[in-house]
């Protein structure tokens, strides 16, 4: 497998370190309280540069999704599900929804974060349908 | 600026599968042919604007094309704004002439996604527009990005897959009348719905083609435009809108910055959507076309599906759209794709569109977008009578 794998910048490293531990961490702006994703040096709401990393719940809902029937490369056997997830803390994130039947999907469904290893040093967030339970 | 600059020459290469010329050679060919069409020679022109080619990337692309021709234009620049490149380049040409940097500029673009790349290479290079850390690792394809938008529109407005399919059917009906279109056989909504699934809800016939091809136009001042063999086509208005780069950063999935681009272009042209005789929009995927119809004011938000299903955009309809067949059926060689929307608008306004010629096209709106409905450019054109 050689799926594209991030090569984090120093700014991004805390996000990937947290993922490696099985935690989702998001940046919060100390000036305007905006919650950011993806990681940045400056807040994308107020452009301030005072940002703090805080743990996030890992809960979200499906904003929209697609079942990819023709994979981007041999490293991505189809079908697989790409979704935009609206995190409970506010930001939107692209991810995969794993272990779900396409027929079971719809926008607005609650999802819960999980983590999947992409390489020895990189673990990425993926999501599962929350199926009505709150883990 | 309204009416002060005009398109005076145009050329299209063969499109579809064109294995006998490289992208650079296609770019050279259309550059020379557009200059000839304008009744000019290379020495009459002093500017060149190009875009790069995925299949043959060149660090200094415009300079390389000029060098190939043994030409040293005063102004020479490569533009790279994805699918929106075409009309941003036209605007840069207008701005360069206005600034005194050149008098007569060729805008030329060509690429060969079909013959000079494998299908897998073309797929990977196009999906590389995704964020390298926060999108690409999950394996999204370009159709998948647009499928996310399509699903959001269906969820919010009740738009159906059959309504998206209407866009493909309409474009194909026009391509059926175009002798050079890559796909000419008529299709039905059912054909689209039954075609191979790519990224739900999009099927292969919802997706634009993968093509070779190039096109060029020549732009100059109004005073010089009168001297050519064809009636000049004037730039009446132009606008841009830029909302984000990556789809996962979009604040709104169902309304795009085409609204901003369109509003600016209409204001500059002093026209409203109902005064546009011909729409040449960016149909990389059927949902993109549907959303542009809404965002550019040709129908209300959420009613794009009904608008397409009414048949008004097809041959014989009152709102002709992509009369060459669009990128869904005429050709889509990547960044140059929207050039053919522009050259078709010129042909229709000149009265040279052969079997598909419409009566009395005085105004045309051309729209292009780069990224995943990210950045938008709207160009409004008019004939002499509109000045």
Give the residue numbers in B contacting A (CB under 8 Å), as ranges: 120, 123-124, 127, 131-141, 143-144, 147-152, 155, 196-202, 247-250, 253
Instruction: Tell me, yes or no, whether B19 lies in a domain.
Output: yes
Q: How many domains does chain A have?
A: 1
Within a domain: A104: yes
Q: Are strands B104-112 and B75-79 parallel, antiparallel or unpaired?
A: unpaired
Determine the residue of chain A that is closest to B124 in CA distance.
A72
Which site among B120, B136, B137 would you substitute to test the A interface, given the most A Cβ atoms closer than 10 Å to its Cβ? B137
Asked if residue B125 is part of any domain, the answer here is: no
Quick one: pLDDT at residue B127?
Answer: 80
Residues on chain B touching A14 (C-beta within 8 angstroms): none
pLDDT for the residue A134: 46
Instruction: Please name the member of A64, A68, A84 whose beta carbon is closest to the beta carbon of B141.
Output: A68
Residue B5's H or E segment, with its range, is: strand B5-12
Q: What CA–CA distance (Å, rounded) separates B180 from B16?
A: 8
| Parts of chain A with a pLDDT under 70 | 1, 132-135
Q: Do B144 and A66 touch (CB under 8 A)?
A: yes
User: Is A56 domain-assigned?
Assistant: yes
Give the number of other CB atoms < 10 A from CB of residue A99.
10
Residue with tokens 């940097």: B101
**Is there a domain that residue A116 lies in?**
yes
Indicate the residue of A8, A72, A84 with minimum beta-carbon distance to B127. A72
Q: Looking at the domain assignment, is residue B124 inside a domain? A: no
Q: What are phi and psi of B163, to 5 degrees?
A: -70, -40
- The predicted-structure confidence for B271-303, as pLDDT tens digits, reads as follows 999 999 999 999 999 999 999 999 999 999 999
Q: Is residue A55 within 8 Å of residue A79, measured between CB atoms?
A: no
Inter-chain CB proximity B155 and A64 less than 8 Å: yes
Binary contact (A64, B149; C-beta < 8 A) = yes
Q: How many domains, chain B?
A: 1
The Cα diameter of chain A in Å comes to: 45
**Residue B15's domain spans which residues?**
5-116+215-225
ipTM of the predicted structure? 0.96
pLDDT of res. B120 = 83
Contact list, B144 vs chain A (CB under 8 Å): 66, 68, 72, 82
Residue B78 neighbours by CB under 8 Å, 6+ apart: B49, B50, B51, B52, B60, B61, B62, B63
CATH code: domain of residue A71: 2.40.50.840
Q: Is residue B150 part of a domain?
A: no
Domain holding A86, by residue range, is 13-129
Q: How far apart are CA B322 and CA B347, in angstroms?
A: 12
Q: Which of B117, B132, B134 is best to mutate for the A interface (most A CBs within 10 A)?
A: B134
Q: Do B199 and A92 touch (CB under 8 A)?
A: no
* Residue closest to B325 by CA, chosen among B232, B213, B240: B213
- Ranges of chain B whose pLDDT falls below 50: none
What is the CATH classification number for the domain harbouring B58?
A: 3.40.47.10
Structure tokens at A19: 């993922």
This prediction's pTM = 0.97
Distance (Å) from the alpha carbon of A49 to chain B's nearest alpha carbon: 19
Question: Is A1 among the domain residues?
Answer: no
Is B308 contained in some domain?
no
Instruction: Choose among A6, A64, A83: nearest Cβ to B253.
Output: A64
Contacts for A127-132 with beta carbons within 8 Å, 24 or more apart? Answer: A127/A60, A127/A83, A127/A85, A127/A95, A127/A96, A127/A97, A127/A98, A128/A97, A128/A98, A128/A99, A128/A100, A129/A97, A129/A100, A129/A104, A129/A105, A130/A59
All residues of chain B having their beta carbon less than 8 Å from the beta carbon of residue A68 are 139-141, 144, 199
Q: Is residue A134 one of the residues assigned to a domain?
A: no
DSSP strand pairing (B47-51 vs B104-112): parallel
Inside any domain, residue A4: no
Q: Is B355 exposed, middle or buried (0-12, 13-18, 19+ CB in 10 A)?
A: exposed
Instruction: Work out the number of other CB atoms within 10 angstroms of the CB of residue A3.
Output: 16
């Amino acid at each position: 497998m050689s799926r594209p794998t991030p090569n984090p910048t120093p700014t991004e490293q805390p996000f990937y370190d947290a993922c490696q531990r099985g935690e989702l961490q998001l940046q919060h702006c100390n000036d305007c309280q905006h919650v950011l994703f993806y990681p940045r040096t400056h807040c994308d709401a107020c452009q301030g540069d005072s940002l703090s990393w805080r743990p996030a719940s890992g809960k979200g809902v499906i904003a929209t999704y697609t079942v990819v029937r023709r994979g981007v490369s041999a490293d991505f056997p189809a079908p697989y599900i790409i979704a935009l997830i609206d995190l409970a803390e506010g930001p939107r994130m692209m991810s995969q929804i794993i272990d779900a039947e396409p027929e079971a999907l719809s926008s607005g469904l609650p999802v819960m974060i999980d983590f999947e290893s992409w390489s020895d040093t990189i673990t990425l967030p993926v999501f599962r349908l929350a199926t009505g339970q709150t883990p | 600026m309204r009416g002060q600059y005009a398109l005076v020459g145009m050329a299209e290469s063969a499109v579809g599968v064109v294995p006998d010329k490289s992208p650079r050679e296609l770019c050279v060919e259309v550059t020379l042919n557009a200059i000839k069409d304008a009744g000019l020679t290379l020495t009459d022109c002093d500017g060149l604007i190009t875009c790069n080619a995925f299949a043959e990337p060149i660090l200094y692309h415009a300079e390389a094309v000029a060098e190939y021709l043994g030409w040293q234009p005063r102004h020479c620049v490569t533009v790279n704004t994805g699918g929106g490149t075409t009309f941003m380049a036209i605007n840069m040409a207008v701005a360069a002439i206005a600034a005194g940097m050149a008098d007569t500029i060729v805008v030329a673009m060509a690429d060969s996604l079909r013959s000079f790349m494998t299908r897998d290479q073309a797929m990977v290079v196009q999906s590389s527009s995704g964020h390298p850390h926060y999108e690409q690792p999950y394996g999204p394809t370009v159709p998948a990005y647009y499928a996310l938008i399509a699903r959001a529109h269906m969820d919010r407005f009740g738009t159906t897959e059959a309504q998206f399919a209407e866009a493909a059917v309409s474009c194909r009906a026009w391509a059926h009348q175009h002798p050079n279109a890559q796909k000419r056989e008529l299709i039905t909504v059912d054909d689209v719905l039954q075609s191979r699934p790519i990224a739900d809800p999009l099927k292969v016939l919802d997706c634009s083609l993968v093509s070779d091809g190039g096109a060029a136009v020549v732009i100059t001042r109004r005073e010089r435009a009168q001297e050519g063999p064809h009636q000049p086509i004037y730039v009446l208005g132009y606008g841009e809108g830029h909302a984000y780069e990556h789809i996962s950063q979009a604040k709104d999935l169902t309304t795009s910055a085409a609204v901003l681009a369109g509003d600016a272009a209409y204001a500059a042209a002093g026209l409203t959507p109902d005064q546009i005789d011909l729409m040449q929009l960016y149909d990389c995927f059927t949902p993109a076309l549907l959303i542009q119809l809404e965002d550019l004011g040709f129908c209300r938000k959420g009613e794009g599906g009904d608008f397409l299903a009414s048949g008004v955009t097809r041959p014989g309809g009152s709102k002709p759209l992509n009369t060459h067949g669009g990128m869904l059926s005429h050709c889509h060689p990547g960044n140059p794709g929207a050039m053919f929307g522009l050259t078709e608008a010129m042909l229709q306004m000149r009265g040279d569109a052969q079997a598909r010629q419409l009566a009395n096209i005085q105004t045309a709106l051309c729209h292009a977008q780069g990224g995943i409905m990210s950045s938008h450019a709207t160009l409004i054109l008019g004939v002499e009578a509109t000045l």
